[in-house]
């Protein structure tokens, strides 16, 4: 029996069960740069270059390992435009008894694949993705009958199960979480190590030429392009991070610095999410650094928590709550995304920095995404659907399973608190504390209302005031509502006036 083995663009992992169990002599691996997947949202140009190049390099490595590989490039005459039609076309041109595929990371695609057998007329095996440390079923079993789903408690279970940073049944150091040590602003003049970069080879250059021609109307810059596109280079990124940046990762993981997008972060989400790295090897590398004495516990635990805790949690959360998660809109927000999200033309320096860096790099670190961009989207009542689509298309590490819970549940609170214990909103003072953005801003963070005031200040209190019926009973919001209750009427009225002027400008796409 010959199998047609479909490998998706985010499944670039050599030890996938569908590949490990393949019969090289008779089975065929199918990979395709399908138009439907590349264009259903207008993905960042750099994201497409990264994934198409990584796919081509992965296919080349499989061929060198004596696999039969049928690779369909974007402009091939035989490109059928969608995964289903490509599989159907390939089946018709060969002698295959069945189709095998690793379960995809998107609800839309899984539901489609579950109907493929009927369409194709051959057995279709959708095999569980073994690259994660918790299956969707394991998450749902954990979530069953719990009134609240909180990452911290899931994370502790994962630490126990996998024996990560544990001494018998207790966490090393006596605490599960060292996040309190990981919130320092970065001192001026800090010499941050350069992020790992790679030269463009012939394969990547061909992809760049393709994207410049076929995706010219998509968001973002292609140059400079320096991502890893092979397994070996992705391992180099991980190794460099562990050696050069992990020691200070925890301390400065929430910091933001103008003109420095990469800082001490790992930059491995690109490679974890497309399969060039595994979460377990990243966790093991960090844990080994702790035991070797080359990285402190707060940095190592904080890094591991992002992978073993948060990454695994949001993936389980996604499958547990789909499809309703995508349409949830707890606050009934419907304002359209402003034009400046596509060009960064705003007087708010924090927003300008984060959007411009996203445009240039298809990357922004988690605090930029949550506490600047997401904070603004929530405070101004932007449409969850439009915001979700923006996050999905602009970041090279974004796939729906990881993007949607982070945006809907964490940034926008549009799921009504299924994921987060409170809305992650903040005034300009938080941004000023954690960055140097406010020094070069068109607004003044010290002012609360009026034309020169930081918009985050009056937008924050407007949000608190507007949603008090839904939020005032939240224990984590109690201090905010006590402060709100002491505000003078004249201050509240001045705040409302400033909000009205700002939101009117925003809705009419005037410069703000």
pLDDT tens track for 347-405:
999 999 999 999 999 999 999 999 999 999 999 999 999 999 999 999 999 999 999 99
pLDDT per residue as tens digits for the range 222-255: 999 999 999 999 999 999 999 999 999 999 999 9
Under a CB-based contact definition with an 8 Å cutoff, are residues 5 and 100 in contact?
Answer: yes
Task: Report DSSP letters for 315-373, one per residue.
Answer: HHHHHHHTTHHHH--TT---BPPPTHHHH---S-HHHHHHHHHHHHHS---HHIIIIII
Question: What's the whole-number mean pLDDT along residues 426-438?
Answer: 97
Q: What is the pLDDT of residue 89?
A: 96
Q: Is the pLDDT of residue 1 over 80?
A: no
Of 357, 348, 333, nearest to 412 by C-alpha is 333
Question: What's the whole-number mean pLDDT along residues 257-261?
Answer: 95
pLDDT grade for 36, boundaries at 50, 70 and 90 = confident
List domains and CATH numbers for the chain.
Answer: 3-127 (3.40.50.620), 136-321 (1.25.40.80), 340-507 (1.10.579.10)
Question: What's the whole-number mean pLDDT along residues 110-123?
Answer: 96
Q: DSSP secondary-structure letter at 409?
A: I
Alpha-carbon distance 137 to 156, whole Å?
18
Q: Is the pLDDT of residue 218 over 80?
A: yes
Q: Is the pLDDT of residue 38 over 90?
A: no
Judged by phi (left if over 0) then psi (alpha if -120 to 50, else beta), residue 208 lies in: alpha
Q: Is the pLDDT of residue 159 over 90?
A: yes
Judged by phi (left if over 0) then psi (alpha if -120 to 50, else beta), residue 81 lies in: left
pLDDT per residue as tens digits for the range 486-495: 999 999 999 9
């Amino acid at each position: 029996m010959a199998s047609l083995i479909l490998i998706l663009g985010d499944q670039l992992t050599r030890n996938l069960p569908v590949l490990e169990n393949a019969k090289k002599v008779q089975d065929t691996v199918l990979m395709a740069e399908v138009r439907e997947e590349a264009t259903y949202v207008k993905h960042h140009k750099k994201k497409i270059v990264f994934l198409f190049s990584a796919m081509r390099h992965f296919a080349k490595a499989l061929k060198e390992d004596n696999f039969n590989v049928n690779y369909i490039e974007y402009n091939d005459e035989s490109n059928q435009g969608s995964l289903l039609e490509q599989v159907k076309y390939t089946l018709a041109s060969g002698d295959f008894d069945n189709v095998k595929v690793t379960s995809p990371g998107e609800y839309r695609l899984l539901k489609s694949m579950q109907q493929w057998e009927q369409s194709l007329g051959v057995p279709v095996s959708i095999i569980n993705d073994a690259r994660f440390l918790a299956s969707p079923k394991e998450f749902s079993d954990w979530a069953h009958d719990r009134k609240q789903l909180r990452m911290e408690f899931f994370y502790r279970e994962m630490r126990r199960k996998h024996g990560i940073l544990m001494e018998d049944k207790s966490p090393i150091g006596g605490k599960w979480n060292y996040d309190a040590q990981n919130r320092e602003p970065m001192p001026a003049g800090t010499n941050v190590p350069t992020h790992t970069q790679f030269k463009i080879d012939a394969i990547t250059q061909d992809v760049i030429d393709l994207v410049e021609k076929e995706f010219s109307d998509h968001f973002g810059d292609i140059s400079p392009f320096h991502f890893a596109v092979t397994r070996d280079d992705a391992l180099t990124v991980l190794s460099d991070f562990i050696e050069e940046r992990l020691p200070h990762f925890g301390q400065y993981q929430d910091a933001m610095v103008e003109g420095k997008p990469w800082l001490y972060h790992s930059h491995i989400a690109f490679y974890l999410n497309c399969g060039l790295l595994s979460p377990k090897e990243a966790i093991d590398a960090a844990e080994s650094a702790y035991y070797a004495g080359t990285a402190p516990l707060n940095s190592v635990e904080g890094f591991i928590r992002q992978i073993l805790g948060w990454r695994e949690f949001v993936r389980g959360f996604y499958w547990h709550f789909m499809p309703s998660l995508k349409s949830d809109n707890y606050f009934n927000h419907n304002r359209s995304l402003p034009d400046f999200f596509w060009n960064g033309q705003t007087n708010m320096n924090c927003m300008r920095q984060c959007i411009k860096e996203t445009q240039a790099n298809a990357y922004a670190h988690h605090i930029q995404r949550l506490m600047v961009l997401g904070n603004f989207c929530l405070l101004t009542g932007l449409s969850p659907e439009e915001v979700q689509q923006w996050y999905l298309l602009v970041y090279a590490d974004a796939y729906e399973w990881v993007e949607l819970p982070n945006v809907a549940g964490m940034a926008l609170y549009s799921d009504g608190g299924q994921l987060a214990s409170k809305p992650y909103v903040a005034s300009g003072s938080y941004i000023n504390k954690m960055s140097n953005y406010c020094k070069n801003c068109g607004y003044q963070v010290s002012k609360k209302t009026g034309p020169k005031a930081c918009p985050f200040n009056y937008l924050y209190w407007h949000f608190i005031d507007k949603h008090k019926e839904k939020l005032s009973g939240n224990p984590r919001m109690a201090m905010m509502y006590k402060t709100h209750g002491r505000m003078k009427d004249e201050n509240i009225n001045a705040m409302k006036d400033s909000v009205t002027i700002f939101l009117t400008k925003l809705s009419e796409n005037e410069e703000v």
